[in-house]
Amino acid sequence: MPVTNAIENINSQLRKIIKTRGHFPTDDAATKLLWLLPRNITAGWTRAAPDWKAAMNQFAILYAERFTHPYD
């Protein structure tokens, strides 16, 4: 997923949640909602990028002096 699509997705979800709530009793209530929503959205981002293992192997070959394998 390109970065712009992820950003647009978050923005649309923020707009949607604000629109459905309509009115907030305090500024703190609005702030809390806007803080919790991205945290909940990103919690589901656990899937690795497609072909990440192949890319990681290429990085290890091309940039051996700078690349550290995450599983070591």
Greater confidence (17 vs 6) lies with 17
pLDDT of 2 reads 56
Domain regions of the chain by residue span:
3-62
pTM above 0.75, yes or no: no
pLDDT, tens digit (0-9, with 9 covering 90-100), for 46-67: 777 778 888 888 888 888 887 7
Greater confidence (70 vs 11) lies with 11
Secondary structure of 36-62 in the HEC alphabet?
A: HHHHHHHHCCCCCCCCHHHHHHHHHHH
Greater confidence (35 vs 69) lies with 35
**Encoded tokens for 10:** 């978050």
